[in-house]
Amino acid sequence: MWLISAWLISGAAVVWGTLLRGGAPYSSPYVSWWAFAPLIFVTEGLTLRLASRRTTPFSGISDGAVVFGLFFVAPVEMLAGLALGGVAASLTRRPFRVATSVFVVAQFALFSGATVVVFRLLAPANAALDWRSWVAAGVAVAVGVTGRMCSEALTIPHLRSAMRGVLEDFALGGLTAVSSACVGVLAVVLLRLDAFALMPLVLLAAAAAVLYRRLIRERQLRQAAEFLHGADDALQSSRELETAIVQLLRRARTMFSAEVAQLTIFPTAAGEKALRTTVRHDQADEVMIAVDLGQLDDVLEAETDGVIVDRRASPSAAEMLRQRGVDEALVGLLRGESRMLGSLLVGGHMDARTFDTRDLQLFQTLANQTTTTLENGRLEQSIARLTELQEQLTHQAFHDSLTDLANRSLFGDRIDSALVRSARAGKRLAVLFIDLDDFKGVNDTLGHAAGDALLVGVAERLRGCLRRPDMAARLGGDEFAILLEELEEPAEAEIVAKRIFEALKATFDVAGHPVHVRASVGLAVADKDGDNASNLMRHADVAMYAAKAAGKDRCVVFAPGMEADIVSRHKLRSDLDVALSTDQLVIHYQPIVDLVNGEVDGLEALVRWRHPHRGLVGPAEFIPTAEETGQILMLGDFVLRRACATLLRWQARFPRATPLTMSVNISARQLQQPMFVESVVETVREIGLRPESLVLELTESILLTDAASSIAKLETLQRAGIRVAIDDFGTGYSSLSYLRRLPVDILKIAKPFVDDLALAEPNGDFARAIVGIGTALRLSLIAEGIEAAGQITRLRELGCTHGQGYYLCHPVSAEEMEEILDGGGIPPNRLGEGEHAEPDVIQLRRSG
């Protein structure tokens, strides 16, 4: 508002500088400034609310006086009258606020002056009171009114959401301005005829204004009564206290046109927390949020009956309002007969106005009514129910929602407590970590609902294996844990482990499908002082991973030295962080070759780690760790950017009718990112690569995880021009039913089916089937893992004309790839029948 006021004042200075040049009144009789100033004071100060809504601003009726002055007051004297009358009217408004008053004065000064300037420019020079002078007066008033309304609209904090009300105010304000201007025109005509004829007009206008204000006041009182009745009804009619409070706060926020409404219920007993409900503009409701007593900052600013608080009141008030994102608020305490029930707050404005005494009176009535309603028995019952609900939430916080077993947090606490008991009783305890082998396959083939059903079944069988003091927990995913107490010998824990294997051996019926479950179990026994929950759980985890490494479906007891594997994994993770930040990762490229003429039509980007001590490390050693830790996101972005930039350079150096393409592998973790598609499209755009030159390769299992979301993302990529390939096609859950739904462009025939073509008795049934599927669905085909010339011949016979593999070319550095491209591709003599050649020996064919 201060900024807009500064612009208005600057404009007023320019306009009034024009008026100061002087000039006589437009028409007679002459009216002096000292008679015109009181007229402006009265008409600008006698404001009307144009509608009964509390959000509707007041509007002055000074336009009639301004029209009167246009005809009978000299410009300089009109300037003096406008200034004196406008400032005096602003100073007498209540509540008086400096920023608002400065804005109103600046607004009045600019647009009243503009009205005079426009009239003087348009009115005929002969000062005749004919249609031309009335048109000039109408246009001048319209300019002034429109300017005032637009400047007021700019001060509304939420102009877009309040646009409908703003347009209504524009219409009503325009109607008021027209009515007031018509009265002014009538006054001009009557003064020319007979000055005494003005008296009936003044009395009639005053009576109309008083009656209108009284009518609006009565409507406002009726609306306030309806609001209070509705607020009381909202609290009493709803069965749920939370719902009732939300309804109350929504009504209050609407009634006061506020940005936020908040009700805090104080605790009924020592040690409990307060419960706060907040309703905000364009935000989700926060219902019954537990609040510490130290956070009840609004109580410090409140009074019994309520008070208006702004940021100037005190530093604590400013901080309280800042926390809620508002500049002003109505705050009151809900004081019951026996104790303080809570506090009520309504803050901020959806329009440009501030809270006034009428708002405060209504707010105080609302606070008193809310106190009475809450104190009539419902509050204690509802808080008792909420306490029960909080106990349920506490249970949920320490238990797995799917299986109702203890979660990791509760399990760790129980281990620490059990260690104290075992030391006191001289007993032993053990921890078992259980991980279901190949559980992901159940999700991939039967769906996540079936996977959840299997986890519930496993949890039930684990409960059946426990003794009285033992405890089972689900740590997350398909990992479970068991705490065994009061053990005489460690061998007792191994007996329980065998019992678990026996319990899981029986087939599970999941969604009508028989499912066999195998598990890897790690066992750690507390056998010395100083053991704690963290150590035991880490040892059991290490032993469980050792069981998996040993072939799964077995139990391994933790022994010293096993942690070296964990240390190695952590070191790999740390080294990979360094590799990502120091440019140790490099990209090698394997060509995708036309099996007919040997030309390189595309390339696949494959990441390698140039380790400072181990040399070149293949992706199989670090990609799984990167997937597990989330480092795959940064790594994937690096590969995509480097590969796209390299391809753009090669497309310029080796131009061809169909530009080279680049294939980049995408992991499940990358595809699951909410902004994955936008990131890929933005990368391609930044580098300047044509989207159709990029191919993203994904495996079938990735696409089947959250298939609906994956399909939507791939469709968006395709619309952007980027192509999609299914890597290792045929090794996953391949079927025409899902393949028809997937937005893919390329099928890559998996290496096992290409290997079948090199057998002593070639078996090309699977490869032939995949070629048939691809042809039927009009998809491009690429054979992977070609390692013999005979495979190329068979692939061409089947109708597959593109492939890649060690026989054609190993993945090579960018420099070596440039030599191959410069040489024109793969020599044609390597594409016919022949013996298996050394895969890393490539004869480069030079063009020309």
Structure tokens at 665: 């592998």
Residues 592, 782: contact at Cβ < 8 Å? yes
Determine which of 265-269, 331-335, 517-521, 603-607 has the lowest per-residue pLDDT on average: 265-269
Residue 817 has pLDDT above 90, yes or no: yes
pLDDT band at 225 (very low <50, low <70, confident <90, very high): low
For residues 697 and 714, what is the distance between their CA atoms, to the nearest angstrom?
11
Q: Residue 8: what pLDDT?
A: 73
Q: Residue 287: what pLDDT?
A: 84
For residues 746 and 779, what is the distance between their CA atoms, to the nearest angstrom?
5
pLDDT band at 810 (very low <50, low <70, confident <90, very high): very high
Q: Residue 336: what pLDDT?
A: 78
Task: Give the other-Cβ count within 10 Å of 571's Cβ.
Answer: 10
For residues 238 and 219, what is the distance between their CA atoms, to the nearest angstrom?
28
pLDDT band at 836 (very low <50, low <70, confident <90, very high): very low
pLDDT band at 655 (very low <50, low <70, confident <90, very high): very high
Averaged pLDDT for residues 5-29: 71
Measure CA of the first residue to CA of the last residue in the chain; give whole Å.
76
State the number of CA atoms in the 13 A half-sphere of 369 facing the CB: 20
Name, in order, each residue with C-beta under 8 angstroms of 150's C-beta and a sequence gap of 6 or more: none
Residues 171, 51: contact at Cβ < 8 Å? no
Ramachandran area for residue 737 (φ above 0: left; ψ -120 to 50: alpha; else beta): alpha
Q: 476: part of which helix (H) or strand (E)?
A: strand 471-476
Residue 549 has pLDDT above 70, yes or no: no
pTM over cut 0.75: no
pLDDT band at 140 (very low <50, low <70, confident <90, very high): confident
Residue 439 has pLDDT above 60, yes or no: yes
Averaged pLDDT for residues 447-452: 86
Residue 403 has pLDDT above 60, yes or no: yes
Structure tokens at 488: 């005489």
For residues 732 and 376, what is the distance between their CA atoms, to the nearest angstrom?
65
Residue 51 has pLDDT above 60, yes or no: no
* Residues 696-715: tens digit of each pLDDT: 998 877 776 667 788 889 99
The residue ranking higher by pLDDT, 590 or 733, is 590
Q: Residue 647: what pLDDT?
A: 95
**pLDDT cut 70: percent of the chain above it:** 77
The residue ranking higher by pLDDT, 469 or 791, is 791
Residues 418, 429: contact at Cβ < 8 Å? yes
pLDDT band at 19 (very low <50, low <70, confident <90, very high): low
The residue ranking higher by pLDDT, 48 or 406, is 406
pLDDT band at 391 (very low <50, low <70, confident <90, very high): low
- Length of the chain in residues, anyone? 848
The chain-wide mean pLDDT, for the chain, equals 79
Task: Give the other-Cβ count within 10 Å of 234's Cβ.
Answer: 20
Q: Residue 847: what pLDDT?
A: 33
Residue 383 has pLDDT above 50, yes or no: yes
For residues 753 and 767, what is the distance between their CA atoms, to the nearest angstrom?
6
Residue 159 has pLDDT above 60, yes or no: no
Residues 472, 405: contact at Cβ < 8 Å? yes
Q: Residue 290: what pLDDT?
A: 82
Q: Residue 384: what pLDDT?
A: 55
Determine which of 22-31, 758-767, 805-814 has the lowest per-residue pLDDT on average: 22-31
> Strand 519-526 and strand 428-436: pairing?
antiparallel
For residues 807 and 146, what is the distance between their CA atoms, to the nearest angstrom?
80
Residue 833 has pLDDT above 60, yes or no: no
For residues 522 and 565, what is the distance between their CA atoms, to the nearest angstrom?
14
For residues 13 and 818, what is the distance between their CA atoms, to the nearest angstrom?
71
Strongest mean pLDDT among 58-62, 598-602, 626-630: 598-602
Structure tokens at 713: 């993302």
**pLDDT cut 90: percent of the chain above it:** 18
Averaged pLDDT for residues 260-270: 83
Residue 581 has pLDDT above 60, yes or no: yes
Residue 415 has pLDDT above 80, yes or no: yes
Q: Residue 486: what pLDDT?
A: 85
Strands across the sheet containing 328-335: 286-291, 274-280, 260-265, 340-347, 328-335, 307-310
Q: Residue 619: what pLDDT?
A: 87
Q: Residue 220: what pLDDT?
A: 58
Residue 613 has pLDDT above 80, yes or no: yes
Q: Residue 139: what pLDDT?
A: 82
The answer to whether the peptide bond before residue 95 is cis (omega within 30 degrees of 0) is: yes
Q: Using CA atoms in the order 221, 222, 223, 227, what is the torsion angle rounded to 10 degrees?
A: 100
Q: Which of 476, 465, 459 is nearest to 409 (CA)?
A: 476
Q: Residue 394: what pLDDT?
A: 62
Q: Residue 97: what pLDDT?
A: 64
Residue 567 has pLDDT above 80, yes or no: no
pLDDT band at 845 (very low <50, low <70, confident <90, very high): very low
Q: Residue 635: what pLDDT?
A: 92
Helix and strand counts by DSSP (H, E) for the chain: 30, 24
Domains, the chain, ordered by start: 2-193 (1.10.1760), 236-385 (3.30.450.40), 398-560 (3.30.70.270), 586-605+634-830 (3.20.20.450)
Q: Using CA atoms in the order 395, 398, 401, 406, what is the torsion angle rounded to 10 degrees?
A: -110
The residue ranking higher by pLDDT, 124 or 228, is 124
At position 476, the amino acid (one-letter code) is G
